A and B are shown apart, each in its own frame.
Chain A
């Protein structure tokens, strides 16, 4: 009843707002994709985790952010000051107020698990402590989770391909071995506005920004889940979690005992093979994984027709010699071990290594057509402790060590990162769940040039930088229904500006069972310029395209966000969620292009700002028979200046997706994934490479050998025999990539 009244009240406000102010169309509401059985652990993200049952889809925000944009002023149009509005508002408060006053210690209103069978109890997901353990009803940001089951039955073997079926996530494929991924857009190979983590440890490239997705030492069948936070996450992670955070969480050694092997082959001859061994003996548990991946290039796979964005320059850039060289071969190794020192302490250690070779691509007219090679090693050691009073803490060191031959940019570069971080979670009083922590990191990066004048020059080589931060999170249960959460973090950087981040949220349960929850949040985060932006110069295409040295110090990029959301368990199996946001981005780190005649000079600089707004919503039903979910995302980015050089792609304005899975008799499983993306802009000008697309994947799997094996056949991207060219920032030419792909997979475990 209260929920309905609230909706009526807000609908009244919204409809009047639209009629008077011709508000921007919001067709339906975008959804947060989430599933019934997911999102309990979001600790490392530092936001409320929960079983992210997406929040309700209400009818948009009932506020309106005014200009001038330099003030975060919440303005409400005059009509809202009318007596009718005040009356409606007081009525809403009267609905909520009595519940706030009620004694929620009355246990007759608690969830009655005692009426559930053992089988039903076994299906409930439980929150467990990590960065900050929270439940779905205490989410302070919209989070989607991709489970291991989603990954497995998709049949996909690359993480970006898996991510594209998530609300609000933009994924574009440059070529067979390169993807750009961003939460709510702003993605490119050098855009690190989305922070990517593996088990809470940074996976972004510290030199250029975005991670090299296909060269991460993670095998997809080792992934337990991927958590995608939409919105600023800097208050827990520091720099470069502006638009979102993607955390890839791998399976614990004790959860994957035995031998496991899988191999996938497609009609182009690509292969993906993964073997794993897990063992738990007494206090020890261990997981060893190894894999090999081999992609044919687009020419061999039936696509690869080159297209030039600047045909007049073709003779200068040697366009006629171009061929698709986007093959990839990658060996991966990943291991993790944990040792239970006592009932309350655990020590874990791990290492991952990826050794790759792929074809190079063209950047600003330079296409050396030599192979791109690299070696990435990630290691960590971690100590976890549970204290008698329930407090938890961890201390860890981790390192990322990269050697890369990147022929179209620089002959060779290396980065050695070391990080020390720790965190303590405790309850000083029952209502407050506090987390404090911090990190100290240092980086040494070097470059080596072959002397080719087309290579990028990095000044001040080698680079020795350090940075760190401290954070505080307080999760305050004011009443049984109302939770307030505050996060604050301060960061310093030896070569960039010191900065800070925050997130403040109020989460209110509309019912005692917490089946319907509202969330309101304010957040701020920042992005720092990478080494490549601060220290690079380049002369290309006989001087027609140049990157000039920095004139001024680059300021950090700032993002502020106002968010609202609803999550509802409509029934035990059916859930609905929606969230909406408004963001302001300032001091965008982009590029200023000055064209004089045929010559274009580019300088990295803080260009103007932008605003971003939109919404996501999802409806999902899941039970033992299968799952069906549908989502819609509306993500808008408006730059202050037309053609603003953000050095990133715009989000696809409209995105939609459907996922379906059926567990059929006799161990057959059918799975489908569908996604639609609008066209994507780059630079705000008439897009060269923008195109909308539909993608449909189907798989059919059959368990064999008494469940110890599984055979899968599938077809991905049914609608598109080939995919059109997608250019990343700085590319003058590109080629089409193969689309429709038939594949088969065999899996055995024992």
Chain B
């Protein structure tokens, strides 16, 4: 028995009519969605010194370089951490051009700074730029901790893990709470604080 021509046309055309031919949004990998959520969560377990000169009502996550997160941070605009609104700031790649003084100041005002892969040759320069400004630096590039970075994302058994350079964090007067240190795969300068803010 063969399917009638009419019904064949119906079966083919109806679905085709509904196919969305509008250009789809850029693909976000699940990996960076999860890392975005990690960044958001890290804020809960890190204490910045009172002297950090920032807006009391906001916490800033900076992303420097070619942004792999896409729109992963869109939904965080409606959320708060420690009674503060989270805002995202994108900084251009140092590969492309030097930062202006205003941009450098903005970089130093970030609470968290994610260094993208495109900046792999500029890691040390970026870290020295934000030195002494209590910026929690994070990346997913190997040797990041050895270059002075504070949190390094890695994958183990297809799951996201992280390592912490607590020595670098303490040098910047950042207190990483014990819970986060315990969850880390490796901690450089392992001294688990009692998590009490002084």
Residues of A within 8 A of B (CB): 40-41, 66, 73-78, 81, 86, 89-90, 93, 96-97, 100-105, 107-108, 110-114, 116-119, 121-128, 135, 148, 224, 255, 340, 343, 388, 427, 430-431, 433, 477-480, 482
Known: A100-B20, A125-B158. 4 other contacts (CB 8 A): A118-B183, A124-B34, A433-B27, A478-B20
List B1-50 residues whose CB lies under 8 Å from chain A: 1-4, 7, 10-11, 14-15, 17-20, 22-31, 33-34, 36-38, 40-42, 45
Are A482 and B40 touching (Cβ within 8 A)? no
Cβ-neighbour of A122 out of B29, B31, B71, B159 (below 8 A):
B159
User: How many contacting A-B pairs (Cβ < 8 A)?
Assistant: 138
- Kindly state the separation between the CA atoms of A482 and B66 in the bound complex, as whole angstroms: 28
24 A-B pairs whose Cβ atoms sit less than 8 Å apart in the complex: A75-B1, A76-B1, A77-B1, A78-B1, A93-B18, A97-B17, A104-B25, A105-B71, A110-B75, A114-B40, A118-B41, A118-B42, A118-B183, A121-B37, A124-B34, A126-B34, A126-B155, A128-B155, A343-B117, A388-B118, A431-B27, A478-B20, A478-B24, A479-B19
Known: A100-B19, A114-B79. A127 touches B24 (CB 8 A): no
Q: What 1/0 flags go to B148-187 for Cβ under 8 Å of A?
A: 0000000111111100000000000000000010010000
Residues from chain A with Cβ under 8 Å of B141 in the complex: 343
Q: Are B160 and A107 in contact (CB under 8 A)?
A: no
Q: Which of A77, A388, A431 contacts B24 (CB 8 A)?
A: A431
Q: What is the distance, in angstroms, from A418's C-beta to the closest C-beta of chain B? A: 31
Give the nearest-CB partner of A39 in chain B: B158
> How many angstroms between the C-alpha atoms of A121 and B159 in the bound complex?
9
B120 at the interface (CB under 8 A from A): yes
Whether B3 and A128, one on each chain, are in contact in the complex, defined by CB atoms closer than 8 angstroms, is no
How far does the alpha carbon of A431 sit from the alpha carbon of B10 in the complex, in Å?
A: 28
Contact B24 A105 (CB under 8 A): yes
User: What CA separation (Å) do A304 and B3 show in the bound complex?
Assistant: 58
Partner of B4, one of A81, A117, A478: A81
Say yes or no: A126 contacts B30, CB within 8 Å: yes
Binary flags per residue of B89-128, CB closer than 8 Å to A gives 1, else 0: 0000000000000000000000000000110100000000
Q: Is the CB of B18 within 8 A of A100?
A: yes
B142 at the binding interface (Cβ < 8 Å): yes
Contact between A86 and B10, CB atoms less than 8 A apart: yes
Residues of B within 8 A of A103 (CB): 22
In the complex, A118→B66 CA distance in Å? 25
| Given A111-B33, A127-B31, A430-B27, also A93-B158 (CB < 8 A) | no
Residue contact B160 to A126, C-beta cutoff 8 Å: yes
Cβ-based interface call for B83 (8 A): no
- The reply to whether B26 and A430 contact each other, CB–CB distance below 8 Å, is yes
Interface residues on B, range: 35 or more
Q: Does B192 contact A (CB under 8 A)?
A: no
Which A-chain residue is minimally distant from B71 (CB atoms)? Answer: A107
Give the docked Cα–Cα distance between A431 and B33 (Å): 18
Instruction: Provide the residues of chain B in CB contact with A111, threshold 8 Å.
Output: 33
**A343 pairs with B31, CB closer than 8 A:** no
- Contact across chains for A96 and B18 when beta carbons are under 8 A apart: yes
Q: How far is the CA of A128 from the CA of B29 in the complex (A)?
A: 9
Fill in one digit per residue for B37-79: 1 if any A CB lies within 8 Å of its CB, else 0. 1101110010000000000000000000010000110111001
* Distance (whole angstroms) from the CB of B145 to the closest CB of chain A: 13
Tell me the complex Cα distance, A127–B30, Å.
7
A81 with B7: in contact, given A101-B18, A108-B75, A479-B20 (CB under 8 Å)? Answer: yes
CA distance A477 to B10 in the complex (A): 24
Write out the residue numbers on chain A whose beta carbons fall within 8 Å of the beta carbon of B45: 118
Best-surrounded residue of A86, A108, A125, A480 (most CB of chain B within 10 A): A125
Q: 7 tightest CB-CB pairs across the interface, nearest first?
A: A113-B37, A97-B18, A105-B25, A107-B74, A479-B20, A100-B18, A125-B158
Contact residues in A for B76 (Cβ distance below 8 Å): 114
Q: How far is the CA of A607 from the CA of B3 in the complex (A)?
A: 32
Cα separation A538 to B117 with both chains bound (whole Å): 63
Complex Cα–Cα for A128 and B158 (A)? 7
Closest B residue to A389 by CB, please name it: B66
Q: With A81-B4, A100-B20, A124-B159 in contact, do A480 and B25 touch (Cβ < 8 Å)? A: yes
In the complex, A113 Cα to B71 Cα: how many Å? 13
> In the assembled complex, which residues on chain A have CB atoms less than 8 Å from the CB atom of B117?
343, 388
Say how far B180's CB is from chain A's closest CB, in angstroms.
Answer: 7
* Cα A102 to Cα B20 with chains together (Å): 8
Q: Which residues of A contact B120 (CB under 8 A)?
A: 343
- Say yes or no: A430-B41 contact (C-beta < 8 A), given A77-B1, A101-B18, A114-B76: no
Inter-chain CA distance A117–B22, complex, in Å, is 35
From residue B2, how far is it (CB to closest CB) to chain A in Å?
6
Collect the chain B residues with CB atoms within 8 Å of residue A110's CB.
28, 33, 71-72, 74-75
Q: Which residue of A lies closest to B31 (CB)?
A: A126
Closest B-chain residue to A431, C-beta based? B24
| Candidates B1, B3, B14, B38; contact of A121 at CB < 8 Å | B38
Q: Which A residues are CB-close (under 8 A) to B72?
A: 110
B37 touches A128 (CB 8 A): no
Contacts of A482 in B (CB 8 A): 19-20
Please indicate the chain B residues that have their CB under 8 angstroms from the CB of A427 in the complex: 27
B156 touches A255 (CB 8 A): yes
